[in-house]
Copies of this chain bind each other. A is one copy, B any other.
Amino acid sequence: MENLQVRRVAILGFGTVGKGVYKVIRKQQEEFPYIIGAELEIAKILVRNKAKYSQEVEETILTDTWAEIIADDSIDIIIEVMGGIEPARTYILEALRAGKHVVTANKDLVAQHGHELLDTASQNNCDLLFEASVAGGIPIIRPLKQCLAANTITEVIGIINGTTNFILTKMSQEGMEFQDALALATELGYAEADPTADIEGYDAGRKIAIMASIAFHSRVTFSDVFTEGISKITAKDIRYAHEMDYEIKLLGIACNTPEGIEVRVHPTFIPKNHPLAAVSDSFNAVFVHGDALDDAMFYGRGAGELPTASAVVGDVIDIARNMQNICTGRIGCTCYKSLPIKPMAEVKSSYYLRMQLEDKPGTLSALAGVFGENKVSIFKLVQKTRDNDTAEVVIITAPVKEKRIQEAIKTFSQMEIIRKISSVMRVYD
């Protein structure tokens, strides 16, 4: 193969993912001419401190100056793996306006400003791809946009945060309490020093917002997502869940209903025979229901240097193929609808409640009365323990609107015979 064109890329950021991208491109160097009909060359790597990386990378390609990259017309593709909103957003917008194509792994940015970026890409006939922003190495954006394009997708449910899935797996399989499992995750490097974004479901919230937008063809941003974290889950809740043939997972759930899009992240009881229930440790999985497809699931590594780089470089290859065929911008934003977001109060779900009750006649009848007044049907009620004058009961309700269960809980909290509402979690069924 002679006289091949060379597609030149710049990598912004050289953290875990940036290093992975560098390694994958170098490793596949000989394959690109066959795969894309062109060479692929790393032209520049943008870092803050060049000296820090001079042992790992040829010094000539390191730069600490964005202006050097944006001014270089020979650079075709920008790979943004810095993370955070700024300066990533500004760099990407400038790159697109300069006619450069962009690949990003930045879920925070895509979930918040994705549509601004996609609009700018479209105006400049550029590609903006972001497969790595959701579920790392697992192909999900492209399947949703292309393979499943013949479907009306009604449901996307994901285990899309490896840190929390690792913690819940340890709690489930080894009976650990949350704090101990979190400590272990931190020790093993699965949890960051400040684990808030993972634990509280913000990370998963960004990813489900991105998937909901694409699956339902309507703009959904992170601010539309209801989030609830996993820090209140106890080993006891998980034991009770097992006794009823459930696992507890932190799920990102997006549903397209006639009354609007439901989009939320919360700990969820999920039946043990559901394929998502078996997704353990730091693995991720996304479950999709479409009207033609029926059920499908995509499973794999949701994070990590090389899995994430696999998705990033897959996008780079796609862009290079588009350049080769003069069809960049081939598939841009697919949000051609404006569907409302359903308020969380209107979302229907079954619920698990664990409560400490005064152990005397009439208590259950009073409890059932409050449920009845709020139109909450009880699907199952089990007394778990009796200790002195306190009984612990577990209740599974029939599906009911969030606002009704919240009303019932408000009333319970004012009743003396109800000593404590220990847990409230949603049940997927």
Point out residues on A near B: beta carbons under 8 Å.
Answer: 20, 24-25, 27-28, 34-35, 131, 137-139, 142-143, 146-152, 217, 275, 278, 290-301, 304, 306-307, 309-314, 316-318, 321-322, 325-327, 329-331, 334, 336
- What is the copy number of this chain in the assembly? 2
Can you list 20 A-B contacts (CB < 8 A)? A24-B292, A27-B292, A34-B334, A137-B296, A143-B143, A147-B311, A148-B314, A149-B314, A150-B316, A278-B278, A293-B300, A293-B307, A293-B310, A294-B300, A294-B301, A296-B300, A322-B327, A322-B330, A325-B330, A326-B326
Of the candidates B146, B294, B310, the one whose C-beta lies within 8 Å of that of A307 is: B294
B295 touches A300 (CB 8 A): yes
Contact in complex: B317, A146 (CB < 8 Å):
yes
Q: How far is the CB of A317 from chain B (nearest CB, A)?
A: 5
Q: What residue in chain B is nearest A312 (Cβ atoms)?
A: B150
Further pairs besides A139-B139, A299-B299, A321-B330: 7, Cβ < 8 Å: A25-B150, A137-B293, A139-B148, A149-B317, A150-B309, A293-B301, A297-B300
Q: Which residues of B contact A329 (CB under 8 A)?
A: 325
- Separation in Å of the A425 CB from the closest CB of chain B? 24
Cross-chain contact A309 with B336 (CB below 8 angstroms): no
- Given contacts A278-B275, A334-B35, whether A151 and B310 have CB atoms under 8 Å apart is yes
Q: Which residues of B contact A275 (CB under 8 A)?
A: 278, 299
A269 to chain B, nearest CB (A): 19
Structural contact, A292 and B321, CB atoms closer than 8 A: no
The answer on a CB contact under 8 Å between B143 and A139 is: yes
In Å, the complex CA distance between A334 and B405 comes to: 55
CA distance A294 to B135 in the complex (A): 13
Q: CA A270 – CA B405 in complex, angstroms?
A: 45
Among A34, A310, A329, which residue has the most Cβ atoms of chain B within 10 A?
A: A310
Bound CA–CA A296/B138 (angstroms): 7
A336 touches B34 (CB 8 A): yes
A19 CB to closest chain B CB, in angstroms?
A: 12
Nearest Cβ on chain B to A119's Cβ, whole angstroms: 16
